[in-house]
Amino acid sequence: MYRFCLKQFPPDRSEAFEKERVALKALKGLKGIVQYIGWYECTGEDAEMPLRTIPSPSPCILLELATCDLNEAMMDERPPALPDEIKRFWEELVLISEALVSIHAFEIDGTVYHGSVPTLVLPAIPGTV
The domain spans of the chain are 4-120
* pTM recorded for the entire structure: 0.63
The CATH number fitting domain 4-120, selected from 3.40.50, 3.30.360, 3.30.470, 3.30.200: 3.30.200
**Other beta carbons within 10 Å of 93:** 13
CB 9 within 8 A of CB 62: no
pLDDT in tens, the chain (129 residues): 678 888 888 888 888 888 888 888 888 887 777 888 999 887 765 555 555 555 667 899 999 887 777 777 778 878 889 999 999 888 888 887 887 777 766 676 776 666 645 444 444 444 433
